[in-house]
Amino acid sequence: MFMRKIKPAFFRIITVILIASACFSGGSYNPIQYRGFGADGVVSGSLHIIDIGGTKIMLDAGAFYGKDKIQFPLDIGKNDIAGLKCIIISHVHLDHTGRLPEIVRYLGYKGPIFCTGETAILLPVMLKMAVKYGDFGMENFYYSKNNAKNRFSGKDIAVHSMPDCEYGRQIGKKCAIRCRRSELGSRGYFLCGKCAEMEAAETMRNIVIVEPGKNVRLSGSVDAEFFYTSHLPGSVMTLLKDKNSGRSVLYSGDIGSDLSPFLIHNIPVARRADIAIVEATYGIEERQDEAGARQKFREYIASKLREKKKIIIPVFSLDKAQQVFYELSEGIKEKIIPGGVCIRAFSASMEAINGLYCGRLRVEKGNLTPDFISKGPFDPALARFTKGGGIEYGDITVLSSGIADRMISKDTLIKIIGDRDFCCVFVSRQDPDTPAGIISNMSGNRVVIGGKTYAANAEVRNFDCFSSHARYSSIREMLKGLSGLRTILVVHIDGNSVRAVEQKYNSDFPDVKVVAPGPYEKLNL
């Protein structure tokens, strides 16, 4: 077994529970039974459970966010966790890991959580985000009665979730509040950072590191093999193999676009797989890679700086932000972007992740490029991280998508959109219902917000060269490299793309059964 237990350290697009039984009996196999927890149309919360050869395995443990939490309220419970042998995490994004604290702390899961070394390095930061902004149902929190005066000065009140928090223990007179933690902010509270660290550490105690390319024994009859992808540092596909029946299942996780300067290209999986569970994030769209697109990104930023524009770049804290910092750093090295430019960022999580990219990740060879390991990803001194207060716009402001959604009020949004001096640069898809989504989808010189029309004078530019998901042709070639394929389960898919995706897969794989699960659907495969 190639694994090692580590000590504690300080989750888009479909949620399914797949229950497969591959027990050999009298020369026949039990069918794969499928149950979806919100399938097509879901843009977050990837979670799958497989029972193969009598071994029950969870593949990813993502959390819902945005409209998905309202559209698909059903959640996993203790019955789903009962008999679970292990959890396998494909990569560290919250839509693949955000339910881990709930599963460990509230559902009582005590078994191993397998992931790569790179994922284990990044996971504590992401888990801390998950416990601070997740939704684990109604909970009890406590706080100091003395801090109630913060309300009169406009300050939020720190609440505690852990009874043994070192700060919570110092409270003399305690007050209690019962609500969902996702409601804390709107009610004038925030979760204590130490409590968040302790909850994250509680989950990290279950982590077991695995090495891609090596077989990992999950049970007496089932092994797992892992293959790096180019989606994130440490991201992998997982091949589950039942030696008793000879059957196998490949789970793609998020495959990756091969565009990142930090990551090696996707590794071909020349293996047998009876069933493939594959992402279809971008449906059957084929991304058009513009020649020199990233160079044009650098030149565009430089041109806006010369025009004295106030540049805002909303990004995901993990990997998109680091790629943006890389491109800005390279632009400064090439003297395209002036060296004295002020780059201001607003995200404690982004700052922590930057430190890991420039530090601990560089000791893990994994799926990282030699240049990343030897030279580092970017100059960490470029960004000035601001804590608290409002947005102070420098020459370039990098906002995490979550921070943008929370900090940009309706009034601020209207001000930004109407200001000719603002330039909003987008390097990834934005939820259309968020402030960033409204800005990124603007066309013409008018925009409708809350039923009212406002002037849209800000400049908006979208760059597709930062995509982190594989195009359809890459996924198709990966599947064609498998032998023995009989069923393709298409997940991680936007509901509007389902019919087109099914038709395309049926055309390209005429001898293979193609299934795009519907919401809460139960079926035998």
pLDDT of res. 282: 84
pLDDT confidence of residue 351: 94
- Name the residue type at position 322: Q
Query: What is the residue-wise DSSP string for 250-272?
Result: EE----B-S--SSBPPPPP--SB
CA 4 from centroid of its chain's CA atoms: 25
pLDDT score, position 34: 55
Label residue 232 exposed, middle or buried (CB < 10 Å: 0-12, 13-18, 19+): buried
Are the beta carbons of 205 and 127 closer than 8 angstroms? no
The residue ranges of every structural domain in the chain are 3-133+201-286+469-524, 138-200, 293-462
Helices 117-133 and 193-204 pack at an angle, to 10 degrees, of 140
Total count of residues recorded for the chain:
525
- Residue in this structure with the two tokens 């789903």, named with its chain if needed: 80
pLDDT (tens digit per residue) in 333-392: 999 999 889 898 888 899 999 999 999 999 988 999 999 999 999 999 988 887 655 555
Tokens of 333: 């090295």
394, 423 Cβ separation under 8 angstroms: no
Return the SS3 of 437: helix
Residue 364 has which token pair?
């893990």
Sheet holding 383-385, edge to edge: 383-385, 343-346, 396-400, 310-315, 422-426, 459-462
The CA dihedral of 93, 97, 99, 105, to the nearest 10 degrees, is -130
pLDDT tens, residue by residue, 3-14 = 444 443 332 333
Question: Which residues are bridge partners to 354 per DSSP?
Answer: none
- Please tell me the distance from the alpha carbon of residue 441 to that of residue 525, in angstroms, as a whole number: 40
Please give the model's pTM, rounded to 2 decimal places.
Answer: 0.89
Query: Of 182, 253, 208, 205, nearest to 101 (Cα)?
Result: 205
Q: What is the DSSP letter of 517?
A: P
Judged by DSSP in three states, 468 sits in: coil
Handedness of CA 411, 416, 420, 421 (dihedral sign): positive
Q: Which helix (H) or strand (E) holds 227?
A: strand 222-228
pLDDT of residue 68: 57
- From first to last of its 525 residues, what are the pLDDT tens digits of the chain? 444 444 433 323 333 444 333 333 333 445 445 555 544 445 456 888 888 888 999 999 988 665 555 565 557 788 888 999 999 999 999 989 999 999 999 899 999 999 999 999 999 999 999 999 888 889 999 999 888 776 667 788 999 999 999 999 999 999 999 999 889 988 899 999 999 999 999 999 999 999 999 999 999 999 999 999 999 999 999 999 999 888 999 999 999 999 999 999 998 899 999 999 999 888 888 777 667 999 999 999 999 999 999 998 988 889 999 999 999 999 999 999 998 898 988 888 999 999 999 999 999 889 999 999 999 999 999 888 876 555 556 789 888 876 555 555 566 777 778 888 889 898 877 766 676 677 777 777 777 777 788 888 888 898 989 989 999 999 999 999 999 999 999 988 877 788 899 999 999 999 999 988 766 666 565
Of 471, 470, 476, 469, give the one whose Cα is nearest residue 506.
476
Return the CATH number of the domain spanning residue range 3-133+201-286+469-524: 3.60.15.10
Q: Does domain 293-462 match CATH 3.40.50.10890? A: yes
* H/E segment holding residue 96: helix 94-97
Packed helices 117-133 and 348-358: angle between N→C axes, nearest 10 degrees: 170
Predicted confidence at residue 38, as pLDDT, reads: 46
Residue-wise pLDDT tens digits, 439-453: 777 777 777 777 788
- Please list the helix, strand and coil fractions of the chain in percent, rounded to the nearest 5, in that order: 30, 25, 40
Alpha-helical segments (H) within 162-212: 193-204
Report the C-alpha gap between 482 and 223 in whole angstroms. Answer: 18
